[in-house]
Amino acid sequence: MPLALTEEQEMLSRSAAEFLADRASLAQFRTWRERSHQQAFDPELWREIAGMGWPGIAIGEEQGGAGLGLAGLGVVLEQLGRHLSVTPMNSTVLCGVTAIQLLGRAAQQAALLPQVIEGSRTISLAWDERPHFDPFGVATAARSTATGWLLNGCKRGVADVSSVDWLLVVCRLEGAAGDREGLGVFIVPRNAPRLRIEVTPMVDGRNYGEIVLEGVELGAEALLGGAAAPAAALGRLVDVINAGLAAELLGISEEAFARTLRYLKDRSQFGKPIGSYQALQHRAAHWFVELQLARSLVQEALLALDADPSSSLGLQGPALASMAKAKASQVAELATNEAIQMHGGIGMTDAHDIGLYIKRARVLEQAFGDQNHHLDRLASLQGY
């Protein structure tokens, strides 16, 4: 059975659902995607979201956040998936804030996190360089200079790249591509000289792109933590990101199921609702069971990553994160495929909303490792 949400999380979920239905619904998404691809998100909407405290959900109270942990953040990400809302929550909060918390020095956290919490700064993590995610296959180079650092290289698939204020760029300080050690994360202003951005909208209608660093000069303070990031810290960053993406995939799958269930009850053929046919009932029942399995894994992964890393639950965090991402990806594939098939021909048209969910799901499934990547990682963690 799925783990129960706390009363606080239930309230947060209802609040998020109500706000997004009013201000960032699927209807607003349709309007937004017709605008210029050079604008990744609505800054006014983001200020409203910041006013609700969402950017600080997973940040501790001592740093000005809400202190609700990743489990609280997962509740909001799930609702974002259900409404296909266009916001920088993934890039800024899930990726950016987590990177600063895990890798930044106390002084850097004190300087950067309040700006994110109040909504005045947005962030995106620039990590990928290859067609498939490889966390340590980084060739983008950072070389020490008399005044700081010099960055050269290229990053792909950077979310919200045209509109964020800062880019957190993963670079190699030493060693060769594939080495687990020797990586560092730099804070790079989006308008830095010799930084070139090429926007490439994805199938889900969101703003992604490539950045090219051609001798970008940064001060010594630009390196998070002031030194190379430990491989364990980078691994935990990837775990948190994938658990959060799994939560959004779960929301997509849940909404696809809910919409299809209503359609099965409303659509009639040969004089009776198509949901009365046993073949469709069996498929819907299988779908429901898979959703419950995915929900349990996602919630367990978020709780494990919130726990003390040395505790029995915390030690399971890496494995549970990969299990959650792999299962959520599998279920999202099942959910969106079944939703389109059960809707029939209209499910394939852009005019019908159900087809939009498969596009967002496919992008998230590939981000930071697809299900095959995580199944392979899980096998390695288990000693196979």
Per-residue pLDDT for 1 more than 50? no
| 3 state SS of 168 | strand
Q: Which domains does the chain have, with CATH numbers?
A: 7-121 (1.10.540.10), 125-226 (2.40.110.10), 231-381 (1.20.140.10)
Per-residue pLDDT for 2 more than 60? no
d(CA 166, CA 150): 17
Question: What is the torsion angle, in degrees rounded to the nearest 10, for the CA atoms of residue 251, residue 159, residue 24 and residue 243?
Answer: 20
pLDDT tens-digit series, residues 5-34 = 889 999 999 999 999 999 999 999 998 888
pLDDT tens-digit series, residues 125-160 = 999 998 899 999 999 999 999 999 999 999 999 999
d(CA 17, CA 9): 12
What percent of the chain lies above the pLDDT cut of 90?
A: 90
pLDDT, residue 268, reads 83
pLDDT tens-digit series, residues 23-76 = 999 999 998 888 767 789 999 999 999 999 999 999 999 999 999 999 999 999
Mean pLDDT of all residues belonging to the chain: 95
Q: What is the DSSP annotation of 267-324?
A: -EETTEEGGGSHHHHHHHHHHHHHHHHHHHHHHHHHHHHHS-TTSTTGGGHHHHHHHH
pLDDT, residue 118, reads 96
pLDDT tens-digit series, residues 206-240 = 999 999 999 999 999 999 999 999 999 999 999 99
* Rg of the chain, C-alpha, whole Å: 21
pLDDT tens-digit series, residues 101-124 = 999 999 999 999 999 999 999 999
Using H for helix, E for strand and C for coil, what is the string for 49-65?
HHHCCHHHCCCCHHHCC
Q: Among candidates 326, 99, 356, 357, which has minimal Cα distance to 233?
A: 99
d(CA 281, CA 275): 6
Q: Among candidates 238, 264, 259, which has minimal Cα distance to 319?
A: 238
Instruction: Return the number of other C-beta atoms located less than 10 Å from residue 144's C-beta.
Output: 12
